[in-house]
Structure 1
């Protein structure tokens, strides 16, 4: 544990969807003085995300779905283009991402490759994402995908030329951080652009 942090208390502010807590703690600053700080921390668990790619066809599989927070923060229709992803919910990252890929895109993935882990919004959210890539073939499509309706998912599956997906970052059509990170990783290591 970090000797520069002394936690005093956690107060649950909400546990309606996940847990929002207010933390009060002392932090030992670089100048040697202790400072009392408070932070709100949203704990929704850790997650995993995957970029499916087809090297021969030069394509990727992405999804498009309505995200209410993006809608109220200026994304006109609230429809965000993303890589398949989901919360771990007691599964290992590898187990979860295989399930999410099939549920959301309809593709079963054979060999997955972990590429990195990242905290996406460390100023207030505890979530760590596990990032994966996997090659897909047409024969790997088992269902139409679309997510699980009872979980509120209504997902459109997109198969896009890789270069078009990269251009969509520049045009602002793709604004999701995890998706941009995986597309850029693929540009450097898979498609070698």
Structure 2
């Protein structure tokens, strides 16, 4: 017998949704929560000549709730029906102030398959100083209050080595970049 969903019940609908699913499994029926999160994209713009990358930081309610300070993150945003590559370019301009051309797909992965519908499309994207055409910071109406950081790849990798990098999106993208372009970290 294969497990299957036999019933769904709405618990909450708002910025995200929450469902209760009843699953029929070989060992009996069980209930599991499902968070309804939108599909999203994340991108790490990197300058291969200067060996830098653009990352962001902002207030995140769950991180603040855990008593931790803001963290460095990869640029990210919800697809809202857009093509993932177009969304990555839009978010890079809105959040990081950088215009992106070529995108290097890395993965499309579930972020928390145990309880969330969120899937992320991951991209790397080279840029040049001339591509920094805005301030970034996000859209004022969205109250993101984003701080843009252009940091050396070496400094970001030190955060990986010391287990201080706390954003899983950024960790995955830095590892992909290091595998694909080890010369940028030498």
Q: Cα offset for 1:69? A: 0.3
* Structure 1 stretches lacking a partner, 5+ long: 29-33
Aligned-partner SS, 1:17? coil
Partner of 1:35 in structure 2? 28
Q: In 1, distance between residues paired with 2:65 and 2:162? A: 21
Q: Cα offset for 1:140? A: 0.5
Q: Cα offset for 1:6? A: 2.9
Q: Please, which of 145, 166, 171 is the counterpart of residue 175 of structure 1?
A: 166
Aligned-partner SS, 1:81? coil
TM-score by length of structure 1 reads: 0.90
Cα pair distance change 1:172/1:117, threshold 3 Å: same
Q: In 2, distance between residues paired with 1:8 and 1:89? A: 28
Q: Cα offset for 1:71? A: 1.0
TM-score by length of structure 2 reads: 0.94
Moved more, 165-174 or 66-75: 165-174
Matches within 5 A, 1:74-113: 74-75=67-68, 77=69, 79-113=70-104
Is the CA contact 1:55–1:191 (under 8 Å) kept in the aligned structure 2?
A: no
Partner of 2:115 in structure 1? 124
Partner of 1:17 in structure 2? 15
CA displacement, residues 57-82 of structure 1 (integer Å, 9 cap, x when unaligned): 1111110111110111231x3x1210
Q: Cα offset for 1:172? A: 4.6
CA displacement, residues 68-106 of structure 1 (integer Å, 9 cap, x when unaligned): 10111231x3x1210100011011111111100100000
Aligned-partner SS, 1:118? strand
Is the CA contact 1:46–1:88 (under 8 Å) kept in the aligned structure 2?
A: yes
Partner of 2:62 in structure 1? 69
Partner of 2:6 in structure 1? 8
* Structure 2 stretches lacking a partner, 5+ long: none
Q: Please, which of 25, 42, 49 is the counterpart of residue 49 of structure 1?
A: 42
Aligned residues: 184
Is the CA contact 1:112–1:132 (under 8 Å) kept in the aligned structure 2?
A: yes
Is the CA contact 1:107–1:145 (under 8 Å) kept in the aligned structure 2?
A: yes
Moved more, 171-180 or 151-160: 171-180
